Every structure is written in C-alpha cells, then in structure tokens.
Amino acid sequence: MSLLSRRRLMIAATGLVAVAAAPRLVFAQGPAAPPDGPFKLPPLPYPATALQPHIDARTMEIHHGKHHQAYVTAMNNFTKDHPKLAEIPVPDLLARLGDVPEAIRTGVRNNLGGHANHSMFWQIMGPDGGKPAGEVLAAIDRDLGGMEKFQSDFNAAGGRQFGSGWVFVTVTKDGKLAIEARPNQDTPLMDGKRVLLGNDVWEHAYYLNYQNRRADYLKAWWNTVNWTKVGERYAAAKAGTLGI
C-alpha cells in the first residue's frame, strides 16, 4: 500500500471514530393521536369564530382542540389500566378523588377537572347570549347584590387568582348562588357543589388577544355569556339534575 493510500485510510478511520463518538440527535415525535376511549371531547356548539371580537377564533381552536383535547386524552390513557374510572359519573369521581389510586390521583384531579371545567365553559358561552332574566336574575339580585355588583365581584375574584385558575358561580339545590375562585383545574365539583357558570383565567384562554391584560379579558368575556343556557342550568340545579 502506498504512503498516500495509507494516509487516506487513517483519515477515514479517524472520521468514523469521531462520528461514532458524537452524541446522536434524537427527534421528538409529535403528539400521539388521541386514543379511543370513554372520555370524549364535546364539540363546540357554535363556530370558532362565533365569539369574536371578544374571543378570537384562533384562541378558541387552540383552547378547545389542543388544551381540552389533552385533558381528554390523558383521562383515556388512565382508563387503560384503570377502566373503572369511566364507570363513575364525572361529578362523583371528582368528589371522590381520595378513592382514586394515589399513583394517578394528581393526574386525574388535573385532567378530569380540566375536562369538566371546559365542558361547562363551552356550554355557557355563545353569540347573542341575551341578558339574565327570570329566576336567574332574581337569584343574582338576591344573593350577589345585582348584576353590576355581581360582575364587579366576579371580575375581581378572577383578577386576584394568582397564576392559572378559574372563577365560578356555584348554585345549591335551593338556588342559592355564590362566587368562588379555584387554582389550576380545580372545581367546586370536588367539594360536591354544582357550578352554574365559570370563566377560565388560564393565560391560554386569552393571551393571543389580550396578552397580560386579564382585566380586559374578564370584562369582555361577559359579552359571550349565553344567559339562556345559564337559565337552563339554574333550573337543572334546582331539579337536582345538573351535572358538570
């Protein structure tokens, strides 16, 4: 072998060693397709554009199709090893988190709470939602000091919520209303209560349009409330049939 050939062989061998010693690039796969399972993403009852300009279409698409879908997917993954999770009504399971296996309890709390909260959230919004009337309006006047005070107190509670969370109006079986704020994806359902309505104050609910201006979002959100649906939920609460 010539000196030149020997030199080329040594260079090639050195290169192979360098390639072998270099760390491999690992490309993460995208999100897995949502598994089939007992938990389902409820469809939006209106087009994603319906709540503009108060909530933009892109936010609705991401919020519903990505964030809510992630909670549903996680719950379906839990049911692969714990199928009985799907046999218990969502409000009952949330009220009995202490009975959920410890290894998955936090995951169920976060993801089933998120599923319940968002399923309610899509329902109580809509275009041209009208104004509160009848028994709901009477209850707001009686328990929350009238609409102006109610909206001010509700917005204040949402604004005070540190980090991510929700602000709710709870309703008892005798129709009494109260305002509650909860962190993360917690819900009054975890205490056996029922939710009349609620607003999501996680940044993913408003950041594309409002950035850090949560107060502006809270104020604008009232334009999206479907008071007809809220009235139906109020009647269901008094009848003892309100679910999530």
Please state, in angstroms and rounded to a whole number, the distance separating the CA atoms of residues 68 and 120.
12
Which of 174 and 21 is assigned the larger pLDDT?
174
Answer whether the bond into residue 127 is a cis peptide, omega within 30°.
Answer: no
Identify the bridge partners of residue 167 per DSSP, sorted by sequence position: 181, 199
Chain centroid to Cα 222, Å, comes to: 18
Residue found under tokens 């540190």: 162
The per-residue pLDDT for range 94-114, each reduced to its tens digit, is 999 999 999 999 999 999 999
Structure tokens at 178: 């109260």
* Other beta carbons within 10 Å of 177: 19
Amino acid at 53: P
CATH superfamily name and code, 55-244: Iron/manganese superoxide dismutase, C-terminal domain (3.55.40.20)
Indicate the pTM of the whole model: 0.84
- Tokens matching residue 16: 């192979």
Q: How many residues appear in the chain?
A: 244
CB atoms inside a 10 Å sphere around CB 243: 15
The CA–CA distances, whole Å, from 55 to 42, 45, 162, 200, 208 equal: 19, 15, 22, 12, 9
Percent of the chain with pLDDT over 70: 86
Residue 24: the pLDDT is 30
Q: Residues 196-229, buried b or exposed e (16+ Cβ, 10 A)? A: bbbbbbbeebbebbbeeebeebbebbeebbbbbb
Order of strands across the sheet that contains 177-183:
177-183, 165-171, 194-200
pLDDT at 128: 86
Q: Is the pLDDT of residue 27 over 70?
A: no
Q: Which of 231, 64, 226, 222 is nearest to 138 (CA)?
A: 231
Higher pLDDT, 96 or 18: 96
Mean pLDDT in residue range 162-185: 98
**What is the rounded CA–CA span in Å between residue 165 and residue 180?**
11
Amino acid 55 reads: I
CB 57 within 8 A of CB 82: no
Q: Is residue 82 helix, strand or coil?
A: coil
Return d(Cα 23, Cα 30) in angstroms, integer: 22
